[in-house]
Amino acid sequence: MIRSKEELSVVGKNWSRLDGVDKVSGRSVFTDDVRLPGMLYGKIVRSPHPAARIVSIDTSAAEALPGVKAVITSADAKGIVIGMYQPLLPAKSVKFVGHEVAAVAALDEATAAAAAKLIKVEYEVRPPVLAMTKAMRDDAPQLHEKAKQNVGWEENLE
């Protein structure tokens, strides 16, 4: 039974790690060590631009690579939304450097990486919005169609 607040605190205390020896000795099994029958390897194609319109995505070379089992873009993930406004993969535009635009699944990691490099994405680069105050101006580039003046949520708390 806990008798005081101090007993709940872990800050500033030493704690023994039950798995510490296994981790530092290399005996621990990590997710990357797991190999399962029929397992595929995935790679993500990401935008190099902070803001851009997606003009086209050509996956034909990646799809033709032996060992590639699937290549997906926004056309394959319609209706799958993460968060309030963000589709799983964007169809029209990217909003940040590293924004996912396509994914590849292949029989091995090297093939997945090679296929990802074969995907050609044509962008129309747009000016990024880098400050909150500038993003809320009337003349600021609109980042999300449904978030007018780039405000995703507004709430008055009294």
Domain range summary for the chain, segments of one domain joined by +: 37-146
Give the mean pLDDT per block of 10 residues along the chain (158 residues).
69 80 90 90 97 97 99 94 83 94 98 99 94 87 77 80
> Residues near 19 by Cβ (< 8 Å), separated by ≥ 6?
28
Q: What is the pTM of this model?
A: 0.75
Q: How far apart are CA 43 and CA 103, in angstroms?
A: 6
CATH topology (fold) of 37-146: Aldehyde Oxidoreductase; domain 3 (3.90.1170)
What is the pLDDT at residue 2? 64
What is the pLDDT at residue 72? 98
H helix intervals, the chain: 20-25, 60-64, 109-118, 132-135
What is the pLDDT at residue 1? 63
* R_g of the chain computed on alpha carbons: 23
